[in-house]
């Protein structure tokens, strides 16, 4: 059904862009690496017979016409950016599976009723500017100009980075799709977990996605001399933060599926003999149930406030990203199961702990996802890996799913 070798070679070639000495990949949004990746995928989109363009926010789009050019389009794709020192499959498998499916339709001379568009989204990960899904939010029409003022660790604003990449931030609203113009969105993605591996299955059907809430905690105490300040007279921001980290671990462990991760942590001024005056850290809090996540968030915020009050510390909590959990379209899930059956593949339902671009399209169109088995469940790491056979299985299921969704 699909050309496994071609898909695999493209995945390996794309994986060379942004490769680090560790073997991991760093391909951040609006950088030369992401541009190189888009240029390469653009070539493959052209080889696949697609009409290629880039929208106002830098999403790379390859369009395949259907019998009815005016019909609502079916979208498929994923992202090309990565986390720092990430893996080779997170994002690219979805984008290249969609290109492969289109190329196979062209090679088979298959015509659909609806047009299909392959999308390589800009900045899904948020690894550079501390919130992500910039491309899918622009397509959904929910990205605002003032959000482009956010800066990376070098102080470069998103809008500056966009201009440096040849884009005009003032035009991001042109990337938005109108309600009714999109029939469905389907994304192939690595599972990034162990469910499929433990079930011994190559693909899974995503039922829902946990919503990531990203918070930035800033704790301000009093920097002072480590030798001359008695313990009883300190306002040590780091010790307060350490207590809050214990609260995060304790409160998330109370719940069945809630997860909490402190991924970034900075201590200022950072001298060996200086009591930390300021600490900043991020919290990535997720659950597939919105109420549960909110209850955990409130418990953490309350106890963080109590800890800081007791220690004479100031506390600021900033919301960097707040994405509600999403339930996938049951119709699309059923279509994916039918596609798996047509291929003789057994599939099971899987919940996504990871966030994906489809979450941003929930109000635009029905969304669905096809998961591909991850070795050892590893992701966001150089050891991230899926087999050529499983990647091809994901692309084949996507082919059949798109065929069905694009047929009126």
- Binding interface with ligand HGY (CB under 6 A): 124-125, 132, 212, 354-355
Q: In terms of CB distance, is 115 or 126 closer to ligand HGY? A: 126
3-class DSSP assignment, residue 281: strand
Q: Cβ(402)–Cβ(116) under 8 Å?
A: yes
Q: In terms of CB distance, is 214 or 337 closer to ligand HGY? A: 214
Q: Does 18 bind Mn ion (CB under 5 A)?
A: no
Choosing among Mn ion, ligand HGY, none, which partner's interface includes residue 123 (Cβ < 5 to 8 Å by kind)? Answer: none
Dihedral of CA atoms 383, 387, 391, 396 in degrees, nearest 10, equals -170
Ranked by CB distance to ligand HGY, the top (closest) residue is 354
The binding track of 37-76 with respect to Mn ion, each residue x by CB under 5 A or -, is ----------------------------------------
Choosing among ligand HGY, Mn ion, none, which partner's interface includes residue 259 (Cβ < 5 to 8 Å by kind)? Answer: none
Choosing among Mn ion, ligand HGY, none, which partner's interface includes residue 297 (Cβ < 5 to 8 Å by kind)? Answer: none
For CA atoms 375, 376, 380, 383, give the dihedral sign.
negative
Q: In terms of CB distance, is 73 or 359 closer to Mn ion? A: 359
Q: In terms of CB distance, is 119 or 307 closer to Mn ion? A: 119
Residues in contact with Mn ion, total (CB under 5 A)? Answer: 2
Q: In terms of CB distance, is 115 or 212 closer to ligand HGY? A: 212
Query: Which pair of structure tokens corresponds to residue 101?
Result: 């499916």
Choosing among ligand HGY, Mn ion, none, which partner's interface includes residue 135 (Cβ < 5 to 8 Å by kind)? Answer: none
Residue 117 CB, nearest approach to ligand HGY (Å): 22
The span from the CA of 165 to the CA of 163, in Å, is: 5
Residue 101 CB, nearest approach to ligand HGY (Å): 22
Residue 242 CB, nearest approach to Mn ion (Å): 28
The binding track of 81-120 with respect to Mn ion, each residue x by CB under 5 A or -, is ---------xx-----------------------------
The span from the CA of 88 to the CA of 19, in Å, is: 9
Choosing among Mn ion, ligand HGY, none, which partner's interface includes residue 91 (Cβ < 5 to 8 Å by kind)? Answer: Mn ion
For the purposes of burial, counting CB atoms within 10 Å of the CB of 343, is it exposed (0-12), middle (13-18) or buried (19 or more)? middle
Choosing among Mn ion, ligand HGY, none, which partner's interface includes residue 212 (Cβ < 5 to 8 Å by kind)? Answer: ligand HGY
Q: How far apart are the first and last CA of the chain?
A: 22
Which residues contact residue 286 at a Cβ distance below 8 angstroms, ignoring those fewer than 6 apart? 210, 211, 212, 213, 258, 259, 260, 293, 353, 355
The span from the CA of 333 to the CA of 370, in Å, is: 9
Q: Cβ(191)–Cβ(374) under 8 Å?
A: yes
Please state the φ and ψ torsions of residue 225, each to the nearest 5 degrees. -70, 130
């Amino acid at each position: 059904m699909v050309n496994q070798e071609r898909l695999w070679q493209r995945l390996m070639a794309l994986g060379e862009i942004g490769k680090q000495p560790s073997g991991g990949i760093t391909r951040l949004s609006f950088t030369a690496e992401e541009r190189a990746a888009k240029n390469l995928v653009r070539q493959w989109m052209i080889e696949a017979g697609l009409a290629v363009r880039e929208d106002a926010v830098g999403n790379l789009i390859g369009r395949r016409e259907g019998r009815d050019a005016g019909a609502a389009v079916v979208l498929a794709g994923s992202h090309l950016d990565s986390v720092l020192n990430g893996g080779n499959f997170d994002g690219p498998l979805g984008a290249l599976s969609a290109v492969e499916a289109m190329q196979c339709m062209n090679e088979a001379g298959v015509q659909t009723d609806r047009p299909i568009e392959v999308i390589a989204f800009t900045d899904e990960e948020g690894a550079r500017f501390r919130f992500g899904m910039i491309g899918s939010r622009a397509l959904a029409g929910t990205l605002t100009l003032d959000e482009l003022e956010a800066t990376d660790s070098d102080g470069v604003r998103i809008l500056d980075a966009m201009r440096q990449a040849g884009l005009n931030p003032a035009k991001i609203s042109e990337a938005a799709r109108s309600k009714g113009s999109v029939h469905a969105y389907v994304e192939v993605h690595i599972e990034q977990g162990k469910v499929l591996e433990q079930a011994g299955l190559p693909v899974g059907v995503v039922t829902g996605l946990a919503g990531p809430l990203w918070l930035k905690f800033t704790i301000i105490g009093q920097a002072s001399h480590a030798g001359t300040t008695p313990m009883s007279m300190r306002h040590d921001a780091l010790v307060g933060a350490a207590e809050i980290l214990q609260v995060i671990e304790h409160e998330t462990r109370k719940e069945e599926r809630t997860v909490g991760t402190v991924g970034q942590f900075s201590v200022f001024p950072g001298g060996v003999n200086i009591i930390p005056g300021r600490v900043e850290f991020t919290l990535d809090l997720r659950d597939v149930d919105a109420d549960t996540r909110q209850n955990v968030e409130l418990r953490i915020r309350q106890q963080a406030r109590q800890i800081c009050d007791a220690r004479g510390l100031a506390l600021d909590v900033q919301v960097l990203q707040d994405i509600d959990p999403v339930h996938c379209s049951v119709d699309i899930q059923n279509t994916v199961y039918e596609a798996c059956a047509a291929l003789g593949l057994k599939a099971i339902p899987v919940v996504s702990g990871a966030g994906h671009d489809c979450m941003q399209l929930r109000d635009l169109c029905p969304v669905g996802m096809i998961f591909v088995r991850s070795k050892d469940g590893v992701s966001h790491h150089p050891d991230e890996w899926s087999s050529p056979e499983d990647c091809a299985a994901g692309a084949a299921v996507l082919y059949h799913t798109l065929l069905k969704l694009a047929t009126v």
